[in-house]
């Protein structure tokens, strides 16, 4: 319950930052908050669905807000060794893409880098620390599709 409260605070602070930075109006903020509450969606998702932000703008804003890196999976290569540590089923379940290994920790690009449950499950499964990064959800899903498909034995670095 505490994590959902924290997410709500984060969502409101992100949305309020958009107002403070004159990216949306106070009226638009109230509309988005109401709509997301009615639909049971995250505020971030509603901001994108209503066209107030692009998925990339949202990912970059989240990166700044949370002080974690934004990773563009369209251009960033995926280390096959990191890919081997997290099975496709977990990657799909949690909306994550293992990117690389740094100092025994796995850098994982996530749709929701605040998902403490996903981070804990991935850490427990792999026996390694998880360093979250934020990415664009569609790019993460495409990267999962591309990187987990049978490679036919090629040693080439895989990309989306």
pLDDT at position 149 is 83
Q: Output the pTM of the full model.
A: 0.79
Cβ 111 vs Cβ 96: under 8 Å: yes
DSSP state of 117: H
Separation of alpha carbons 114 and 66, rounded Å: 9
pLDDT at 152: 39
CA distance 78 to 100: 6
Give average pLDDT by consecutive 10-residue segment, the chain, 160 residues: 43 76 88 91 88 91 91 94 96 97 96 94 97 96 91 43
pLDDT recorded at residue 44: 85
What integer pLDDT is reported at residue 9 of this predicted model? 52
Which CATH code, of 3.30.300.160, 3.40.50.300, 3.30.70.260, 3.90.850.10, is assigned to 80-147? 3.30.300.160
Dihedral angle at the C-alpha atoms of 114, 40, 59, 65, nearest 10 degrees?
Answer: -50
Q: Where are the domains of the chain?
A: 2-53, 80-147
Token code pair at residue 37: 């509450």
Judge contact between 158 and 147, C-beta under 8 A: yes
């Amino acid at each position: 319950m505490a994590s959902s409260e924290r997410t709500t605070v984060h969502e409101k602070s992100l949305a309020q930052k958009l107002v403070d930075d004159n990216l949306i109006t106070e009226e638009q903020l109230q509309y988005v908050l109401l709509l997301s509450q009615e639909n049971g969606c995250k505020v971030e998702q509603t901001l994108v669905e209503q066209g107030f932000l692009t998925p990339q703008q949202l990912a970059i804003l989240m990166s700044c807000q949370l002080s974690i890196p934004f990773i563009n999976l369209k251009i960033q290569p995926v280390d096959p060794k990191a890919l081997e540590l997290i099975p496709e089923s977990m990657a799909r379940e949690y909306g994550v893409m293992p990117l690389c290994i740094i100092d025994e920790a796995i850098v994982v690009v996530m749709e929701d880098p605040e998902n403490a449950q996903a981070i804990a499950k991935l850490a427990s499964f792999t026996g390694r620390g998880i360093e979250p990064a934020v990415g664009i959800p569609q790019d993460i899903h495409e990267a999962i599709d591309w990187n987990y498909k049978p490679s036919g034995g090629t040693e080439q670095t895989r990309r989306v």
